[in-house]
Amino acid sequence: MASIYKRGTGWTANVSIMQNSKRIRKTKSGFTTKREAVIWANDTEFKKQNKQLSTKDSLFIDEFKDWYTVFKEPQLETATKVWYKTTTNLLTRKWPDKKINEVTSKDFQILLNDYGDTHVKSSILKIKNIIKSFVIFALDDGMILKDFTRNVTTRSKVKSKDVTLKFLETNEMKKLIDRIRYNDSVSCKMILTAIYSGLRFSEITGLTPADFDFDNSTINVNKSWQMQDQAFKDTKTETSNRIVTMPDSYMSIANKWTLGERFAFEGDNSKPILNNAVNKRLKYYLDIDNSTPITFHGLRHTHASYLLSQDIAIQYVSERLGHSDVNITLSVYAHLLDKKREQETAATIISLNNL
């Protein structure tokens, strides 16, 4: 039988259930009216009779931590682990005593709403997706009976950073190349490599002298260097393992470089230099010519944008960048392709008018 009683300013309901051959009470508090408590108790009794009631009575945060430790932590990179730690800290603050079988969609929506008051939407989505991933596991493992993350939305009161794709125009790219072409600093060598290859920063820092094939004018991308772990790791995706053909103009310059012993581009400490140091050098040269301010990653966009402007097939550009799917390339450079489509449309009409 269910028990309904008033406690403080709200109502509480509990139902007797069997767990591990022992009778325990499943309790829920905070109902505004007695009627709400009765409805919950009747629903719980119904689920009990039809064996649809989860008997897992542990704390949500405890189960989340266990799931992360066993299933996630061993396979995650350090940078990704930061988001799981952030999520754990959030759940510890917001749901310290919340039972795993008591969490509702309303609870989750309130959690995300509160987080959205002080964080950008992309951060909220990361938190939502991590918790959703755990909830799917909990469902499969029988800890909960309903996916409370469904139909929950995200919103933010904090304006996101400008996500406009930034890259150098062709004339700006040529000016930068002219300024650094024969500069012997490690930063300039990395910048020049990025312009001509489109490689990610972690891929360039992960290059070793053996990855340069001067006979065939190629660079072998087969690993990355993770600054956080100070260790070689796999490339971002399986398709990121690739052989990138380089122009002779670049290879003739690179062939005269003195590459490091372990890393192709080594700093004074015999390790790759930091992204921040390379970005400072890049900013210095861009400021001289009043060029578009971009980061090192913007050189990757510059490389791709230039190739697309030269009518290079997007399938090849996608392979060269090491994207796992051409649709990623299409989505990232959609605005460039739209501009190109307008030009092609105009050219098509002119051609048809000449018939």
> How far apart (Å, rounded) are the C-alpha atoms in residues 286 and 291?
5
Whether the Cβ atoms of residue 124 and residue 90 lie closer than 8 Å to each other: no
Query: Could you tell me the CA-to-CA distances from 135 to 80, 97, 107, 147, 328 in Å, in that order?
Result: 19, 17, 14, 7, 28
pLDDT for 135 beyond 80: yes
- Quick one: pLDDT at residue 238? 86
> How far apart (Å, rounded) are the C-alpha atoms in residues 337 and 317?
13
Comparing 6 with 133, the larger pLDDT belongs to: 133
> How far apart (Å, rounded) are the C-alpha atoms in residues 136 and 197?
40
pLDDT for 160 beyond 80: no
> How far apart (Å, rounded) are the C-alpha atoms in residues 15 and 3?
7
Band of pLDDT at residue 236, cut at 50, 70 and 90: confident
Q: 105-119, pLDDT tens digit by residue?
A: 999 999 999 999 999
Comparing 355 with 308, the larger pLDDT belongs to: 308
Query: What pTM was computed for the model?
Result: 0.67
Q: 191-234, pLDDT tens digit by residue?
A: 999 999 999 999 999 999 999 999 999 999 999 999 888 899 88
Q: 54-77, pLDDT tens digit by residue?
A: 556 689 999 999 999 999 988 887
Section 298-313 average pLDDT: 94
